[in-house]
Structure 1
Amino acid sequence: MKPNPLWELENIFEGATFDDFLFRPQHGVVGSRRAVDLTMPLSRNLNIKTPIVGANMDTVTREKMMKALALEGCFGFLDRNCSIEEQVGRVKYLKRQHSHVIEKPAVLSRRHSVGQAKTIMKVHNVSGLLVESTPGSGILVGIFTHRDLLAAGSDNSAMIGKYMSCLGKLVWAQPGITIEDAEKMMLKHRIEKLPLALKPGRNISGLITMKDLRVAKQKPYSTKDRKGRLLVGATVGAREDFIERAEALIAAEADCVLMDIAHADSDVIQKAVREFRAKFKDFELVCGNIASRDGAKFLMDLGVDAIKVGVGPGRGCRTRLETGAGVPQLQAIREAYLGVKGEIPIIADGGIKNDKDIALAIFCGASTVMLGGMLSGTDEAPGELVEDPASKKKVKIYRGMTSPEAVFDGPEGEDSLEERFNTPAEGQAIKVDYVGSVVDIIKRVRGHLQSAVSYMGHETLMKVHKDFSNAPSKYLIRLTESSRKESFER
């Protein structure tokens, strides 16, 4: 089967989605599926080792989910259904988590009280504070940890200088120390935290913790930046405060911005992307959503770094039901791939019901897959775990971002609350079963995806993506009603 030279949609994809296909197994070459490499491009300049992206929804991806996904080699985009300050705070929090070197550790002066230290430690979710000589001096004189907090007990009014580990007993190092030497030093002195300070003035310049070094060893596939910090994505709109929001997120060191609206093949997005590029030049920008070949080419020509594909396939979306607009998701993925001729990555957003859908999405043209509903019932998803009075099952609430509930909770911005409520909803809130930790979900998906790659006769997902996308009709089998029942009904 020759590659498609005209970049035209193959007939097999017309009106098709995930349950319409199986792929024909090829000769296997891997001894164990665990050896299969799943690394894929998230965008033009960012790669991730497990091609799963947390949906930018307020019931899916916030701090807890983002952290868990990044540690498992995945990625996520923080939602924008909050104030700029709240979103920026989440980015800053995540950039402090599990880095090789904490460049801006929490610092108090020796004259701050134990009560103030408790508050700071709780707000920043840290177990220790570096202590400076006077407020703003930056001169290291000690460290105050959770052990000192226990020793202080209820003595909240006392100064932390009374309980901290003083300079004479403090083990510290200069910036530039290797991670290996830092670990040896901490093991030798049986300490959990190693402050970094410049000689001769002992100016505070960072902190290394044994906890972060352990995580780095346990999860070498984590999604991190060059400084060993978690990679963080965040969402903006395309009107009103989007430039102000993007500027604040970039200043907070977000690694990638997602410009997200329901219909991105539009003049609104064209104007917004051009304004973004004029202000932020080559900063990594993902844009969506579209569902056609022309829409994908339109965004690529605007200079975005990845495209998010899907109009109405998700459980929380009613766009197809209410408007009739949309393209079957696997067809949309294929159209987008052909529209950009494989030149920039595609994020397939929505319609994923099970793990084989993820494999088919990537084989047919997507680089990564965005999950919402599949992650929304996990411990890490925002929202309270409740018991459904009818079924007695534990459930969480999952909602589309244009549902009335999400609109009500959103910040002031593009439209007034009255205007938003006067616009008919294209999203809905639903109950989803509680499924435990997202880590277990990702491990399961990773294993099934590795198996799918092995059935395709390759050692890497990228190689399957290239071969399959080049000639999908060589591998795909379009199912009949009977073969669909045989395959998927159990």
Structure 2
Amino acid sequence: MAHATHHEDTDSQFYKNADTFFSDNARVGLTFDDITLATRYSEILPRLTKVDMRLSEQLVLNIPLISADMDTVTEAEMAAAMARNGGLGIIHYNMPEKRQIREVAKVKNDVHGLIQEPIAISPESHIADVLEMIEIRGFKFHTFPVVDIQNKLVGLLRGRVVKSRYRGVKVADAMTPLEQVFTIQESDIADDPIGAADRFFNDHMGIHKLIVLDKGGHLKGLFTMSDIERIREEESRDVKPSRDASFQLVCGAAISATRTPAGELDRDRILEHASNLVSEGIDALAVSTAHGHSAGVGDVVKLLRGEFKDLSLIAGNVTSAEGVEYLSKCGADAVKVGQGPGSICTTRIVAGVGIPQLTALYVCSKAAEKTGTAIIADGGITKSGDIVKALTLGNAVMCGSLFAGCREAPGSILEINGKLFKQYRGMGSLTAMKAGSAARYGHESHAKKSDKVAAEGIEALKEVSGSLDDTLRQLVGGLQSGMGYLGASNLAELRSRARYIRVSPAGQRESSPHDVVELKTTKED
């Protein structure tokens, strides 16, 4: 035992826990490449580690990764893919409010188990009405139950007749009548809804919709075969999708601190937009600006918390303990930390402010421990090792650059000299602010006067990197490897077992491949 104690004492002279390490470096701003983590005794296999985290009382994610609310990163396709992989996507607000609501609806209607409140239509409507609803709501499906004014099922309008050529036809004349519609009683699925639906589709080849009724024939729900098949496929995966209580994919959306022409907070408009998002089933609202420790952000968080008691609220960005305490008191469940660490952000250069990300995370994490607030590390993540380091201090990581090249990210693909790229821009870039994000940087009144706007971001290109599934697999795998090296079975243990040491410039170079010619392998290899 004396021998073991000697080694422990020796280690403690070099590798420090968070409090001691950052206290020793109190006057130095540090970021990810400035430190490395010491390995610890481990009995933990990386593949057996748990990486789920609680963002709020209502919202649990199965991986601690969130896609950034940027207009070249997260819209419906990215948000749905993030949720299917266990994370969360935050749909940006650099678009008309109605379109953002449609983007949320696309995610929430992506895959269901039992669709408990299926969209139904009246037999007195026309196909033109149905086409208009599909366009407004952004539905991917074109098949709808048909119900009377008592919500009793009278038929099924199938997608094959929902065509422009039939716009003038009444639903009653185009629908499949009730006696030809496959239904099941609510009481027959009570014990195992998914299993009951799975057995039905196995027994009825070629049937793709199953409608659930109560004893009185009232519409109570809907199963689709494609949803059941995807659910069964998901059950075999190591990482489970992030879903809400209704089995819908989780989705977040950013919201702006909108102001009236007089400069006052436009409370009515903010609440109306938030209410519409909540009606679509939104799981988290993010009040995102470059300077979150401000009266405007605090007022919006207070407004939303007062109206939506149980809604998960994210606010930011801050880099100080005061900022975390302020937003927590206003009602935020989670606070985003980061000012200037992003690859396309120039806030530190333009405004001369911002704290290197690892130091900012430590300072903010100490305040979060007191307030019970979750910390989201937003920006500066370039590799899976950075995620490991960030999660020794925070609860989740928000990424933009790492996801911007994925095929699920918005934007067209460009080919330059035989390579494929996607546009990636900071929300503080001139083009992004012209498109609507100026309020994020305090320039709303000058949004259409670009010569008076101080840009805090650049426009760039990201090489196309394939699917988000593959990217997340690599990132989560790297996170689990790091946890294995520290002997941490979950993220709480990762934080408690982390030991830090500063790295010299030579040590940074040593950390990367060096003194070799690296071979690039192809997918075929």
Alignment TM-score > 0.5, same fold: yes
2:489 and 2:176 map into 1 onto residues whose CA distance is 52
Residue matched to 2:506: 482
2:18 and 2:196 map into 1 onto residues whose CA distance is 55
- Which of residues 462, 466, 469 in structure 1 aligns to 2:496? 466
Please say if 1:223 is aligned against 2:242. Answer: yes
1:7 and 1:25 map into 2 onto residues whose CA distance is 17
String of CA shifts for 1:64-121, please: whole Å, max 9, x gaps: 0000000000001111112222222222222222122223434345566667767766
1:341 and 1:112 map into 2 onto residues whose CA distance is 56
TM-superposed CA distance for 1:310, in Å, is 0.1
Alignment of 1:6-17 (within 5 A): 9-12=22-25, 14-17=28-31
- Which of residues 419, 443, 450 in structure 2 aligns to 1:393? 419
Please say if 1:78 is aligned against 2:91. Answer: yes
Residue matched to 1:48: 61
TM-score by length of 2: 0.82
Give the partner amino acid of 1:405: T
TM-superposed CA distance for 1:334, in Å, is 1.0
Give the partner amino acid of 2:314: V
Between stretches 111-120 and 166-175, larger displacement belongs to 111-120
String of CA shifts for 1:130-162, please: whole Å, max 9, x gaps: 2346xx56332333445x459x99777666666
1:411 and 1:294 map into 2 onto residues whose CA distance is 25
1:480 and 1:329 map into 2 onto residues whose CA distance is 18
Residue matched to 1:166: 177
TM-score by length of 1: 0.88
Between stretches 113-122 and 365-374, larger displacement belongs to 113-122
- Which of residues 41, 47, 54 in structure 2 aligns to 1:27? 41
- Which of residues 374, 392, 405 in structure 1 aligns to 2:431? 405
Residue matched to 1:471: none
| Conservation of the 8 A alpha-carbon contact between 2:77 and 2:408 | yes
Residues 300 and 11 of structure 1, relative CA distance in 2, 3 Å threshold: farther
- Which of residues 282, 307, 313 in structure 1 aligns to 2:335? 307
Residue matched to 2:517: none
1:219 and 1:467 map into 2 onto residues whose CA distance is 32
Residues 466 and 227 of structure 1, relative CA distance in 2, 3 Å threshold: farther
1:117 and 1:271 map into 2 onto residues whose CA distance is 40
Please say if 1:351 is aligned against 2:380. Answer: yes
TM-superposed CA distance for 1:278, in Å, is 2.9
2:183 and 2:497 map into 1 onto residues whose CA distance is 53
1:164 and 1:382 map into 2 onto residues whose CA distance is 36
Look up the SS of the partner of 2:404 in the other structure. coil
Between stretches 233-242 and 46-55, larger displacement belongs to 233-242
Between stretches 51-60 and 18-27, larger displacement belongs to 18-27
Residue matched to 2:263: none
Please say if 1:234 is aligned against 2:264. Answer: no
Residues 464 and 225 of structure 1, relative CA distance in 2, 3 Å threshold: same
| Conservation of the 8 A alpha-carbon contact between 1:403 and 1:428 | yes
1:74 and 1:55 map into 2 onto residues whose CA distance is 12
TM-superposed CA distance for 1:303, in Å, is 3.2
Look up the SS of the partner of 1:324 in the other structure. coil
TM-superposed CA distance for 1:371, in Å, is 0.5
Consecutive unaligned residues in structure 1, runs of 5 or more: 469-474
2:437 and 2:114 map into 1 onto residues whose CA distance is 34
Residue matched to 2:213: 197
2:33 and 2:450 map into 1 onto residues whose CA distance is 35
Between stretches 12-21 and 49-58, larger displacement belongs to 12-21
- Which of residues 225, 242, 252 in structure 2 aligns to 1:210? 225
1:58 and 1:408 map into 2 onto residues whose CA distance is 12
Residues 443 and 145 of structure 1, relative CA distance in 2, 3 Å threshold: farther
Give the partner amino acid of 1:315: S
Residue matched to 2:309: 281
| Conservation of the 8 A alpha-carbon contact between 2:83 and 2:249 | yes
Residue matched to 1:39: 52
Instruction: Quote the sequence identity (%).
Output: 29
Residues 275 and 145 of structure 1, relative CA distance in 2, 3 Å threshold: closer
Give the partner amino acid of 2:473: K
String of CA shifts for 1:408-444, please: whole Å, max 9, x gaps: 2228985353356522111221111111111110111
| Conservation of the 8 A alpha-carbon contact between 2:424 and 2:462 | yes
Residues 323 and 155 of structure 1, relative CA distance in 2, 3 Å threshold: closer
String of CA shifts for 1:144-188, please: whole Å, max 9, x gaps: 445x459x9977766666665432232212346222222222322
Between stretches 410-419 and 8-17, larger displacement belongs to 410-419
Q: How many residue pairs align between the two structures? A: 475
Between stretches 96-105 and 300-309, larger displacement belongs to 96-105
1:412 and 1:316 map into 2 onto residues whose CA distance is 16
1:421 and 1:380 map into 2 onto residues whose CA distance is 33
String of CA shifts for 1:235-273, please: whole Å, max 9, x gaps: 112342433332332233211111111111123233333
Give the partner amino acid of 1:173: I
Between stretches 82-91 and 238-247, larger displacement belongs to 238-247
Root mean square deviation of aligned Cα: 2.9
Alignment of 1:414-433 (within 5 A): 414-415=444-445, 417-418=447-448, 422-433=452-463
